[in-house]
Amino acid sequence: MMAKKTVKTSAKEKAKESGGAMSKRLAERFRKLLLSQMGELMGKAEGTVDDLVTDNENFPDLTDRASAETDLNFGLRVRDRERKLIIKIKEALKRIDDGTFGICEVCGEPIDHKRLEARPVTTLCIDCKIEQEREEKMRGE
């Protein structure tokens, strides 16, 4: 049974208390997983839109350019998703460094390892994720 989460401790404090969310070995495994995902994404990103600048700084005005060509628009949307994922991967790697990786940023509980393996960039445990989705639905997002 899940314990009721009543105490709100920040993820960082919690990580310190428990000496990190996971063992160093496990954290390193996730680091490798994240790095290989990032490598894949970057490799793919290079090949998909080679006529476009790869510099992330140029993305804000790409929406204007994309509206001109629908095909390009699709490519950019994929590209944009990949770019966002790369950012998330970088954040996850940072969390591995500061020892907060694998800790839910809402409730401070450890995130299920199976969930992390399926989606290592996640910052929410399954309970909080469900809760978040429910709230988003209620707000009509």
Residues that bind Zn ion (CB under 5 A): 104, 106-107, 125, 128
- Give me the DSSP letters along the chain: -PPP------HHHHHHHTTSSS-HHHHHHHHHHHHHHHHHHHHHHHHHTTTS---GGGGGGHHHHHHH-HHHHHHHHHHHHHHHHHHHHHHHHHHHHHT-TTB-TTT-PBPPHHHHHH-TT--S-HHHHHHHHHHHHHHT-
* Least spacing, CB of residue 106 vs Zn ion, in Å: 5
Q: Which is nearer to Zn ion, 80 or 127 (CB)?
A: 127
Q: Which is nearer to Zn ion, 18 or 54 (CB)?
A: 18
Q: How far is the CB of 53 from Zn ion (least distance, A)?
A: 39
- Min CB(115)–Zn ion separation in Å: 11
Task: Please identify, using beta-carbon distances, which residue of 107 and 116 lies nearer to Zn ion.
Answer: 107
